[in-house]
Amino acid sequence: MVSQLDKGEVKNCTGTVLRLERNSIHDGQGLRVVLFLKGCSLSCKWCSTPESQQAVVEKGYGRIISVDEVVAEICKDEIFFFHSGGGVTISGGECLLQPDFVAGVLGECRKRGIDTAIETSLFAPWPSVEKILPFLNAIYVDLKHPDGNIHKKLVGVDNRHILANLKKIDQSDLPFKIYLRIPLIPGINDEDDALIKTLSIAASLKKLVEIEILPYHRLGVGTYAKLGRSYELEDVATPSREYIIERTEFLKKQCYAVPVKVGSGYI
């Protein structure tokens, strides 16, 4: 069967991109190019890239670019990928809302031997998720809260669809790896019960490599004002190193055979 990618239909499509960052150590192995896309269906109260949430170019944030143009930009860093074991990670917004574009970019990168990953909330239609999986070495899934009702209060939707997608990707026969990420927000999702429930979800996944803790930060707060929006977590302070270590050690002490670490570069 000739796929859309083989026919060149996906390769020639365009995407709406927020920005491309080089030499990132936060979203995958080695040095990476991270491509942030526009558009997200969630509205996390702590979102550090509010300029990524709208799918369209707004107030100077974002541009429309072709698969070929992006791949050419990514390939400029091939030497760093080679020496560091890095590659490309597509993030958001929610990258699964532009599945043809993402499949096109990742498919071209894979043809060149470049390591591929996405970071996602998994809040996307299953056909979109399924389209991307064959082009992935790793998938980083952010789990915001294990309780559906609290999840809805924090990000606008409950987590049933996300957990169903997580189960389905774990059942895939494809050889990609799964990393679960917890954005650790003081006073919001850092209580013992929530962390233990997320740990038990992680322990049920056969493709899981590890849990990564992503400590809350306030780097995107200034962007809310630029967009004419208010920031809801104004009273939440950046957590201390001791707090991050204590929460991480708490998870490690539970009786689950799941490796836990703080995300690269955070402490």
Based on CB atoms, which residue is closest to ligand SF4, 121 or 128?
121
Residues 155-194, one symbol each (x = binds ligand SF4 by CB under 6 A, - = not), give x---------------------------------------
Residues 5-34, one symbol each (x = binds ligand SF4 by CB under 6 A, - = not), give ------------------------------
Based on CB atoms, which residue is closest to ligand SF4, 44 or 136?
44
**Angle, alpha carbons 16-18-22 (nearest 5°):** 120
Whether residue 93 has a cis bond before it, omega within 30° of 0: yes
54 binds ligand SF4 (CB under 6 A): no
Q: How far apart, in whole angstroms, are the C-alpha atoms of residue 137 and residue 207?
A: 12
Q: Output the smallest distance, CB 177 to ligand SF4, in A.
A: 21
Output phi, psi for 239, to 5 deg.
-70, 150
Cβ(165)–Cβ(128) below 8 Å: no
Q: Output the smallest distance, CB 103 to ligand SF4, in A.
A: 20
Q: How far apart, in whole angstroms, are the C-alpha atoms of residue 66 and residue 4?
A: 16
Applying CB under 6 A, among 5, 34, 35, 40 the residue interacting with ligand SF4 is 40
87 binds ligand SF4 (CB under 6 A): no
| Span of 14-22, 44-52, 146-154, 160-168 interacting with ligand SF4 by CB under 6 A | 44-52
Q: How far apart, in whole angstroms, are the C-alpha atoms of residue 34 and residue 57?
A: 19
Residues 115-134, one symbol each (x = binds ligand SF4 by CB under 6 A, - = not), give ------x-------------
Q: For ligand SF4, how many residues bind (rule: CB under 6 A)?
A: 13
215 binds ligand SF4 (CB under 6 A): no
> What residue spans of the chain are helical by DSSP H?
4-7, 67-75, 78-84, 99-111, 126-132, 148-155, 160-170, 192-203, 221-226, 241-253
Residue with tokens 């070495």: 137
Q: How far is CA 192 from CA 68, 187, 205, in A?
A: 46, 11, 21
Applying CB under 6 A, among 3, 43, 149, 200 the residue interacting with ligand SF4 is 43
Positions that interact with ligand SF4 (CB under 6 A): 40, 42-44, 47, 49, 52-53, 92-94, 121, 155
